[in-house]
Structure 1
Amino acid sequence: MKYCLLLLFLFSCTFSQAQSYKKIHKKAIVADSHNDILSTCIEKHYRFDNNLKVKTHSDLNRMRKGGIDVQVFSIWCDGSFGKGQAFNRAIREIDTLYAAAARNPAKMKIVKNYADLQEALQHKQLAAMMGVEGGHMIEDNLAYLDSFKNRGVCYMTLTWNNSPSWATSARDETHDSLLHQPKGLNDFGKQVVKRMNAMGMMIDVSHVGEQTFWDVIHTTTKPIIASHSDAYALCPVPRNLKDSQIVAIAKNGGVIDINFYPGFIDSSFERKSDAFDTRHKKERDSLLALNPESYYASDYLYAEYKDEIQAMRPPLSMLIDHIDYLVQLAGIDHVGLGSDLDGISITPQQINDITDYPLITKALKKRGYSKKDIKKILGENFLRVYKANQL
């Protein structure tokens, strides 16, 4: 009898803990500031509002299942899209999101301002926002920046890995041989920052070089974001933020949203990834000969060698370590989530797709974060910065 009572007690405690983190997650406003499903859908000819389970990390119904209330959809194309092409590609992705919203008015709403956001939340719709990932998409034309804002773009990442003529990226600033311009923002780049401040569009410093970052800090009058970056001290890659940058974003009133990519979380991941590529180089080359699209070979190899990929994935605890580090350095009001799902091929363990988002809440609760602080990380911090840029 005592044994049965003990089992019942242990079951009750476990059930209570599970209900507790799920309840926190359900009641919180969960915002993800960076998801690449739109470009993935265009590349692979998918529809975001179809069931894409197994094919992608995200789709409309799985976002709802994962408790996502606010999703910023990345508008992205790489540097091979030059003038006359990059802006048009961005518009195509924006049109794709508008089409999905038109087909699903009860499930999602395009958000253009804070009032739209509140309305979407009130009606239990996914608040669909957009962030242009790369300043090359304005093609050195401020009118294109205005056009993005009018369509509902809430932030622009000033650079992607490539550098527009007016700002330098982290990749280019750390590879001087590839750089054909001075580091940082030029006069036009500072005009872009000031124009974004004036129109209420958030400035995103993920991907930008250090000089560009500091030029932004000294130019902006509004809080900025790093929509999908991690801590350099824990994983020293150029895409991550150094301590001085983290402190500067906090002083600016901004927010750093954690990226889920293992290469930005785990300092040993690049070595493991390189070893995987070396082992399977012949197969990759053969696959690329059949289909030059880079995702084709990767998708096949990752599916074929699941055990090897699983061994490369860092534990979820390492992602939480980055959150802890940023909170300790910047404060609880300056950390959020920017997963980069569907822009990354490998995720941390336990996070297999967007429906696993509640496990982050569970992990934060286990680390001792209060309900109030968890809600800040899950979305309130990002929404605060978005609102501050509207004023």
Structure 2
Amino acid sequence: MRIILFVLTMLLIDHAYAQSYKKIHRKAIVADTHNDILMKAADKGIVFDQDLTGKTHSDLARWKKGGLDVQLFSVYCDGDVKNPFAFANREMDSLDAVVARNPDKIAKVSSYDELIKTVKQHKIAAMFGVEGGHMIEDDLNKLDSLYKRGARYLTLTHNIAPSWATSAAEETSNPNLQHKGLTDFGRQVVQRMNQLGMIIDVSHAGDQTFWDVIKISTKPVIASHSSVYSLVPHPRNLKDEQIKAIARNGGVIQINFNPGFIDSSFGAKEKAFLIRHAAENDSLIKSGMGDFYTMDYLYNKYAEEANQIRPPLSLVIRHIEYIIKLVGVDYVGLGSDFDGINLTPLQLDDVTNYPLITKALVEKGYSKTDITKILGGNFLRVLKANEVK
């Protein structure tokens, strides 16, 4: 009898615990500041108000299932794409079409107040984040145009940078750069973004570009999808002094789920995977598939091998906790990079798994208030602080 009572008690405790983290997740406003589904819509012609389970990390129904409330949709193209501003607008068209077909499920919002209203209506609040300053084509009028279409942040650089700001990739791979950081026009871009109420995103920025931004921006910045350099010394991650500077600025670092950014051993594992499949990889590249989609193909084809090298969810939490311990709980959030990465951490298979982050944070002993900040509250504070009064 005692054994039965013990088992029943444990089941009740487990049920109460599960209800606890699920309730916290349901009541929080969950915001993800970086998702690349628009890239796949443009490249592959996918329609993401259809069920894309097994094909992508994201679709409209799965966002809702994962409890997501706010999505910043990355608008991205490679630096060698002709007419990148026109390409950006085409990607934006694909989201607008989904919104038009699903007015009861998702809505584009342009302000904090509209966002809150939309979330209360149980719809996903959608905004754009333009990933790469090259997409404004050195024209402030095009920056204004993207803002009017719903872009609420601009990632100043991608790996291939614009003429007016240097990227992390450039600054670390080319020691002979004649100029690092923002040019005079780059400073004009930052100043115009402050005037518009458009958030400056320092993910992908080179160190000098980062410090130039911190010096001149009058508004809080974000790193929309970056992780911690002290844990994983990748050029795309943020060093301790940069994290401290973002905290002093009132900004927020949105942790990226990319295995190479959260797991210091991943690079060697991925290299070994590629060596095992070198001939197939080379053939696919030569066929014109491109590096990103070649890796997608190989990881899907050899899924059992791929699963062996995926880092655990605990490493995502480790990066979140590092920032909390360094500067406090007010300066960290989620920028998954779903559909812009080939592999995800274990348990975070797709966007339905956001609640597992909440569960992990509850298990670590974080309060409901702190978890609510991490899941989206910190980003919402920065969004509101950037708005022009």
> Which TM class, normalised by the smaller chain length?
over 0.9
Q: Hey, what's the Cα distance between the residues in 1 that align with 2:178 and 2:148? A: 31
Distance 2:52 2:301 in 1: 19
**Equivalent position of 2:43 in the other structure:** 43
Cα drift, residue 293 of structure 1 = 3.6
Residue 42 of structure 1: how far off its partner (Å): 1.5
**Partner of 1:236 in structure 2?**
233
- In 1, the alpha carbon distance for the partners of 2:292 and 2:214 equals 36
Indicate the SS of the match to 2:152: strand
Among 278, 293, 298, the residue aligned to 2:295: 298
Post-superposition Cα deviations, 1:118-177, rounded to whole Å, max 9, x if no partner, equal 221121110001100000000100000000111110000000011111000000000115
Please show how residues 1-391 of structure 1 align to structure 2 within 5 Å. 1-82=1-82, 85-176=83-174, 181-391=178-388
Q: In the alignment, is the contact (CA less than 8 A) between 1:165 and 1:181 conserved in 2?
A: no
Q: Secondary structure of the equivalent of 2:74?
A: strand
Q: CA deviation at 1:195?
A: 0.2
Q: Distance in 2 between matches of 1:289 and 1:155?
A: 35
Kindly state the Cα deviation for residue 180 of structure 1 after the two structures are TM-superposed: 5.0
Closer/same/farther in 2, CA of residues 296 and 390 from structure 1, 3 Å limit: closer
Distance 2:338 2:365 in 1: 26
User: 2:41·2:94 contact (CA, 8 Å) conserved in 1?
Assistant: no
Residue type of the alignment partner of 2:69: D
Using the TM superposition, name which of 294-303 and 121-130 deviates more.
Answer: 294-303
TM-score, normalisation: structure 2: 0.98
Task: Report the Cα offset of residue 286 of structure 1.
Answer: 2.7
Residues in 1 aligned to 2:153 and 2:279: alpha-carbon distance in whole angstroms? 41
Number of equivalent positions: 388
In structure 2, C-alpha distance between the alignment counterparts of 1:91 and 1:318, rounded to whole Å:
36
Contact 2:253-2:333 within 8 A present in 1 as well: yes
Where do 5+ consecutive residues of structure 1 fail to align? none
Q: What letter matches 1:101 in structure 2? A: V
SS of the residue corresponding to residue 227 of structure 1 reads strand
Within 1, Cα distance between the matches of 2:172 and 2:283? Answer: 32
Offset, 1:296: 4.3
Q: Whole-Å Cα distance in 2 between the matches of residues 160 and 268 of structure 1?
A: 24
Verify the 8 A CA contact 1:287 1:296 in the aligned structure 2: no
Mapped to 2, the partners of 1:117 and 1:62 lie a distance apart of: 20
State the distance in 1 between where 2:43 and 2:131 align: 16
Counterpart contact for 2:317–2:360, Cα < 8 Å: yes
C-alpha RMSD of the superposition? 1.1
Q: Which letter does structure 1 place at the counterpart of 2:201?
A: D
- What is the deviation of 1:16? 1.1
Counterparts of 1:195 and 1:153 in 2: how far apart (Å)?
14
Give yes or no for contact 2:260–2:267 (8 Å, CA) kept in 1. yes
Taking the aligned partners of 2:24 and 2:178, their CA distance within structure 1 comes to 48
Distance 2:283 2:169 in 1: 29
Give the counterpart letter for 2:61 in structure 1.
N
**What is the distance in 1 between the residues matched to 2:151 and 2:27?**
27
CA contact (8 A) 1:30 1:70 kept: yes
Matched AA of 1:232: Y
Q: Check whether the contact 2:41–2:91 (CA below 8 A) recurs between aligned residues.
A: no
Q: Once the 2 structures are TM-superposed, how far is the Cα of residue 303 of structure 1 from its aligned partner?
A: 2.1
1:296 and 1:188 map into 2 onto residues whose CA distance is 34
Give 1:302 shift. Answer: 1.1
CA distance in 2, matches of 1:266, 1:40: 25
Supply the distance in 2 between the matched residues of 1:223 and 1:296 (Cα, whole angstroms).
Answer: 35
Report how far residue 115 of structure 1 moved.
2.4
Paired residue type of 1:72: L
Secondary structure at the counterpart of residue 32 of structure 1: strand
**5+ residue gaps, structure 2:** none
Shift of 1:295: 4.4
TM-score (norm 1): 0.97
CA distance in 1, matches of 2:327, 2:254: 12
CA distance in 2, matches of 1:295, 1:272: 17
2:171–2:177 CA contact under 8 A, matched in 1: no
- Letter of the structure 2 residue corresponding to residue 86 of structure 1: P
Secondary structure class of the residue paired with 2:200: strand
Measure the CA separation in 1 of the matches of 2:162 and 2:202: 14
